Chain A
Amino acid sequence: MTSNSASASTTKTWSGGRSPYNVSYGKLMMWIFLLSDAFTFSSLLIGYGAVRFSYPKAEPLAQEHVIKPMSHVSHEFIEEMKEIGAFSEAHWPSPDLVFNHFPFLHGLHLPLFFVSLMTFILIFSSVTMVLAVEAGHRMDKTKVRNYMFYTILGGLAFLGCQAWEWTQFITAGCSLDSNPYGPAQFATLFFVVTGFHGFHVFSGVVINLIIYINTIIGTYEKRGHYEMIEKVGLYWHFVDLVWVFVFTFFYLI
């Protein structure tokens, strides 16, 4: 911009005839929506933190009870943990002892392995999304189509993992108002927050499918630009972003 004073440049930016932020209407509105969604998820996660920290922490397991990854095989794991006082109504359970399952490896103590897998699935599907956006900038229809396909696969894989995780949690006896691990709010907040995030992933997959079909039938080719991929991409990355914090606050801490 070749303006010689700040006020002149402000006038030019905001006096009409141009886009002040140099983005399309749709993209700006997507950002505003994501801002509001960020507030929603912040509220949920901070609410989770408030309830969690109003309970005392679980004490670390005594030396003779320490469970090494890969070592523990038992069908009465929850009962054993209750007996030694690791699960109790009086304190928040340690995520280490709750989220320790992995598909096809029943009974092994594998904390964090499964959610790490889910995290990598979501990161990779974010990468294929951003590759689709990049291909869209070059008007490369075939590449956009292929990368969108991988993105949808990643989203479905993540949803499958989450369904498995929920099944595991529910068959262990967890519901919205009670659970064998400790305070009722532990399962309530788990279902509400991961459910809300999972529903975002589900909506993302549906929207991805719609733009995938539109790419195939040439809607964006005719329109002359692939901006729709970018806008949906913003939403998809946001879902990944939220998962980073769900992973941190539910599983790591």
Chain B
Amino acid sequence: MHYKNSEEYEPISYVPHVESHGTSEIWRTLTILTVLTVVDIILYFTMPLTGFRNFIFIVLGIVKAYYIVASFMHMKHEKIDLAACILVPLLFVLGLIAGLLYEGNFWLLNP
């Protein structure tokens, strides 16, 4: 359903036809998310409290986020332009992390 000329094309009602990709990818993603969460739980009970442990938890969180966005939210089947349009602005979050977390321990409550 691709409109050839601008007379036919109505932006508001345009809905591209999407083919089913089958369910195998869904089960694979479920397995990955479950395994990563179980790894989280195992590390929580076995690793000593260190900054490195927190680092692993954050990395695992980002990996889980990748699989949810790419597979469940279909982002890897979208055009790269759309993915960039949504994902690149998230770089601003890094600015906020630098501003609040990196400096937070000295400008906030306990000088």
Contact = CB atoms under 8 A, between A and B. Distances in A.
Interface in B1-40: 2-6, 8-9, 11-12, 14-23, 26, 29-30, 33-34, 37, 40
Interface stretch (A118-126, A161-169, A192-200): A118-126
A212 interface: no
Interface in A199-253: 225, 227, 230, 233-234, 237-238, 240-241, 244-245, 247-248, 252-253
Contacts of A21: 78-79, 81-82, 85
A234 B86 CA distance: 13
Interface residues of A, number: 61
A131 interface: yes
Contact of A54 (B16, B65, B104): B104
Nearest to A241: B68
Contacts of B85: 21, 31
A69 B45 contact: yes
Interface SS of chain B: helix, strand, loop or mixed? helix
Contacts of B60: 248
B21 A134 contact: yes
A43 B99 CA distance: 11
Nearest to B21: A134
Interface range, B side: 35 or more
A54 B104 CA distance: 6
Contact of A24 (B15, B101, B104): B15
B45 A38 contact: no
A32 B44 CA distance: 35
A54 B107 CA distance: 8
A241 B72 CA distance: 10
Interface in A1-26: 16-25
A89 to B, nearest CB: 11
B9 A131 contact: no
A225 B15 contact: yes
A241 B65 contact: yes
Nearest to B6: A17
B72 A19 contact: no
A60 interface: yes
A40 to B, nearest CB: 11
Nearest to B80: A21
Given A18-B2, A134-B22, A248-B61, 20 more contacts: A20-B81, A22-B78, A24-B16, A39-B92, A46-B97, A46-B100, A55-B110, A60-B48, A112-B45, A127-B72, A131-B23, A134-B20, A134-B23, A138-B20, A225-B15, A230-B74, A234-B73, A237-B72, A244-B64, A244-B68
Interface of A: 16-25, 28, 31-32, 34-35, 38-39, 42-43, 46-47, 49-51, 53-57, 60, 69, 111-112, 116, 119-120, 123-124, 126-127, 129-131, 134, 137-138, 225, 227, 230, 233-234, 237-238, 240-241, 244-245, 247-248, 252-253
